[in-house]
Amino acid sequence: MIQSEKPPTNPIYEECTLSVGQLLQHYRKSQHFSQLALATEAEISSRHISFIETGRSQPSRQVLLTLANAMDLAHRDVNLLMRTAGYSAMYQHRGLDDPQMKPVSDALNMMLENHLPYPSVVIDKDWNILMMNASYQQLLSSFPMQLNDNTNANNVLELLFSPNGLRSVIANWDEVASHLLRVRAREEALNINQGDSLLKRLLAYPNIPDWKKINDAEIEKPMLSLQLNLGQVTLNLFSTITTFGTAADITLQELRIESYFPADEQTKDFFTANSA
């Protein structure tokens, strides 16, 4: 399988100037919990939660873990909560080249290989490409792209949104872009720092559709497909996202494998013929 160029490094921990109480309140509100609802879910008194958020009480490590679990926080966010309170991180953050991650790399290679002749790609939490199969690489190389220096050529979303990237060949770009912007907005809801976020970079591109409004065309079919104009052929693809269900590592929890499937016979025939 093809390893992509090394993507921009994501900091293991975000810079956080909030107190542990402020950070807890941020996560609680972002997850749409009232203090009472969180207290009920975590079986901790709402008064104690209020005291933590206002700085009147210093939470123990176990209390923070219980609250984080009740809010279903990601490993990265749990670590940030721990470190902000002065405790050691809970979860490790290994690279894919770490020897302990070899079974993971082997599994990823197997999944990418087994999905041929159709495209498949491994991405991180910020949609940076980590690995791809030969079909995905061949598909990308089929489209002429003249990216400027401000576009990250290793990022799936920036490739789709850049006017010099794939946008010009996506027949249903408004629908695809609107859907992906809503997805990214949900993904960034818990972020502490909203400075140079991927969502803001995407919204800075010209001619962004009214992405907060869901059009009837988006819900008429069972799923939204990606329609790519490739010369005389229009490829019609839909995708599935696979994640690791038992991840105890930040990298592993944030990995996603996006696998594309043909949505019509013409697209199926195209990939079958190109694999021969």
Q: 61-70 and 75-84 helices cross at what angle (nearest 10)?
A: 150
Digitized pLDDT (tens) for each residue of the chain, 276 residues in all: 666 655 444 444 456 889 999 999 999 999 999 999 999 999 999 999 999 999 999 999 999 999 999 999 999 999 999 999 999 999 999 999 999 999 999 999 999 999 999 999 999 999 999 999 999 999 999 887 776 767 788 999 999 999 888 999 999 999 999 999 999 999 998 887 656 789 999 999 999 999 988 877 667 778 899 999 988 899 999 999 999 999 999 999 999 999 999 999 999 999 999 876
CB 27 within 8 A of CB 71: yes
Domains of the chain by range and CATH?
20-84 (1.10.260.40), 96-274 (3.30.450.180)
Stated as kind and residue range, the H or E segment containing 104 is helix 102-114
CB 75 within 8 A of CB 253: yes
| Among candidate residues 231, 265, 234, 241, the one with its CA nearest the CA of residue 172 | 234
Q: In sequence order, what are the residues at sequence separation of 6 or more whose Cβ sits closer than 8 angstroms to the Cβ of residue 151?
A: 158, 159, 162, 164, 165
CB 117 within 8 A of CB 275: yes
Determine the Cα–Cα distance for residues 164 and 145; give it in Å rounded to an integer.
Answer: 6
Tokens 């490590």 appear where? 61
CA quadruple 236, 241, 242, 244: dihedral, nearest 10: 160
Quick one: pLDDT at residue 193?
Answer: 65
Quick one: pLDDT at residue 150?
Answer: 73
Quick one: pLDDT at residue 223?
Answer: 87
Beta bridge partners of 120: 259
CB 91 within 8 A of CB 250: yes
Quick one: pLDDT at residue 143?
Answer: 85
Q: In sequence order, what are the residues at sequence separation of 6 or more whose Cβ sits closer than 8 angstroms to the Cβ of residue 39?
A: 45, 46, 48, 49
Question: What's the length of the chain?
Answer: 276
- Give phi and psi for 176, each to the nearest 5: -65, -45
DSSP-assigned states of every residue in 198-209: HHHHHHTSSS--
Quick one: pLDDT at residue 3?
Answer: 67
Q: In sequence order, what are the residues at sequence separation of 6 or more whose Cβ sits closer than 8 angstroms to the Cβ of residue 154?
A: 4, 5, 7, 8, 128, 129
Determine the Cα–Cα distance for residues 258 and 241; give it in Å rounded to an integer.
Answer: 5
Quick one: pLDDT at residue 14?
Answer: 58
CA quadruple 194, 200, 201, 203: dihedral, nearest 10: 180
Quick one: pLDDT at residue 274?
Answer: 83
Stated as kind and residue range, the H or E segment containing 228 is strand 226-230
The pair of structure tokens assigned to 99 is 């020897």
| Among candidate residues 127, 186, 179, the one with its CA nearest the CA of residue 153 | 127
